[in-house]
């Protein structure tokens, strides 16, 4: 079940990955998991650096990781909770100095193993990602993007909603809630309301507690041929008195870097300028055409953000009275008006209290929908059926 071709890349020796071996017994104090449609991630939280050895076994198919000088201080995940790729996880001690982790596989897989050093609230981590055998993150990210939406008469406009963070990335932390959780709740309420709007429908970049790469979020927007893109977040700041909502569009610097990226592949970039071929244009002319297209998109994003901000100001405090601009990666769809909404400051006690209330989450969603209506009404010529 493990791809024979991929097996050639398995590491047969001891892997340090920039880590020194433990001077004394290391402890696994937690095992965390997140499952996305195309990936499962298992994280072993440890109190110190470890070395490991990985190999595969057949009949039945298994992935085995040996961890010398390591002890388990956590419960083993129960069968049925280990995602779509793993039947179960077993742990044991083939000898007194070595912990063995065995993944009994459910289906054909590819996998990637890495060790991570401490950062923020995390200690050392051993991270195992499982993918479909014919799909791996690097392949997904490198596929050519689909062309921009070609709308048909009567077809509903698609709004792609992007709940920030997810999985092992909790985002900003309040005293009682995490950003990744509250923005997903708001995003689901927003989708339900958009789906009730005549002529509109919505999709989510993630539907559960798992992480989606920043570039992949914009790729989803293009693959689904979205008309509008809204990323939902909750802000944080060291000063707990700071509060209120903000709306962001892409900065000119961010647009310039994205233009250079698309200019490197003129053939794929042709759909960004109305299907005009750029392969026979020199870099200067192609750059001008792309710049015009992206400038138009950034301008549309600012207009879109302004309408949403006006509606958000009716339900609560606004941190910034104008649409801010920054180089957020999720805003870099070159031909899709895109905004990032910081719904409130999760580090502010008053804002956090509001964010925890389902009724206030609904009001945020209603304000964003009202902003969408205002934007579409003012741009009938662009979005006319």
Domain ranges of the chain: 4-139, 143-383
Give the sheet arrangement for strand 26-35, strand by strand: 70-72, 26-35, 39-46, 124-132, 109-116
pLDDT value of position 129? 87
pLDDT value of position 109? 83
Report in angstroms the alpha-carbon separations of 295 from 123, 126, 284: 43, 43, 16
Superfamily of domain 143-383, CATH level 4: Zn-dependent exopeptidases (3.40.630.40)
- pLDDT tens digit sequence for 152-204: 667 899 999 999 999 989 999 999 999 999 999 999 999 999 999 999 999 99
Average pLDDT of adjacent 10-residue blocks, the chain of 385 residues: 39 35 72 85 91 89 92 87 90 88 87 84 87 55 47 84 93 94 98 96 95 89 93 94 95 70 52 51 65 82 96 96 91 90 96 97 98 92 65
pLDDT value of position 36? 82
- pLDDT tens digit sequence for 301-350: 999 999 999 999 999 999 999 999 998 889 988 789 999 999 999 999 99
- Of the CATH numbers 3.40.50.2300, 3.40.50.1220, 3.10.20.30, 2.60.40.3500, which one belongs to the domain with range 4-139? 2.60.40.3500
The tokens of 135 are what? 């799909």
Q: How far is it, in rounded angstroms, from Cα 115 to Cα 96?
A: 23
pLDDT value of position 372? 97
pLDDT value of position 325? 93
pLDDT value of position 292? 73
User: Maximum Cα–Cα distance for the chain, whole Å?
Assistant: 73
Q: Is there a common fold for 4-139 and 143-383?
A: no
Q: What share of the chain is helix, strand, coil (3-state, %, to 5)?
A: 30, 30, 40
């Amino acid at each position: 079940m493990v791809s024979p071709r991929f097996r050639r890349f398995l590491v047969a020796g001891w892997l340090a990955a920039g880590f020194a071996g433990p001077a004394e017994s290391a402890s696994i104090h937690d095992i965390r998991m997140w499952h996305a449609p195309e990936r499962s991630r298992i994280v072993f939280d440890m109190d110190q650096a470890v070395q490991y050895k990985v190999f595969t076994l057949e009949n039945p198919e298994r992935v085995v990781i040996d961890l010398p000088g390591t002890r388990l201080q956590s419960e083993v995940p129960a069968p049925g909770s280990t995602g779509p790729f793993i039947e179960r996880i077993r742990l044991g001690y083939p000898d007194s100095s070595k912990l063995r982790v065995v993944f009994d596989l459910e289906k054909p897989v590819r996998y990637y193993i890495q060790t991570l050093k401490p950062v923020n609230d995390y200690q050392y981590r051993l991270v195992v990602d499982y993918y479909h055998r014919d799909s791996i993150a690097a392949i997904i990210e490198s596929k050519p993007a689909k062309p921009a939406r070609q709308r048909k008469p009567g077809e509903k406009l698609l709004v792609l909603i992007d709940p920030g963070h997810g999985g092992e990335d909790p985002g900003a932390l309040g005293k009682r809630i995490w950003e990744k959780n509250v923005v997903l709740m708001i995003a689901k309420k927003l989708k339900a309301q958009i789906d009730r709007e005549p002529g509109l429908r919505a999709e989510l970049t993630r539907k559960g507690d798992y992480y989606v790469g920043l570039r992949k979020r914009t790729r989803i927007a293009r693959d689904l041929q979205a008309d509008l893109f809204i990323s939902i977040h909750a802000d944080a700041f060291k000063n707990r008195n700071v509060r209120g909502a903000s709306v962001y569009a892409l900065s000119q610097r961010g647009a310039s870097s994205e233009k250079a990226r698309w200019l490197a592949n003129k053939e794929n970039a042709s759909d960004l300028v109305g299907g005009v071929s750029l392969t026979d244009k020199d870099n200067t002319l192609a750059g001008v055409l792309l710049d015009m297209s992206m400038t138009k998109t950034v301008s549309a994003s600012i207009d879109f953000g302004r309408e949403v901000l006006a509606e958000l100001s009716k339900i609560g405090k606004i941190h910034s009275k104008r649409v801010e601009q920054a180089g957020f990666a999720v805003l870099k769809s070159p031909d899709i008006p895109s905004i990032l909404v910081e719904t409130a400051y999760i580090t502010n006690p008053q804002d956090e209290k509001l964010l925890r209330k389902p009724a206030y989450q609904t009001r945020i969603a209603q304000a964003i929908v009202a902003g969408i209506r205002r934007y579409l009404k003012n741009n009938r010529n662009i979005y006319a059926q």
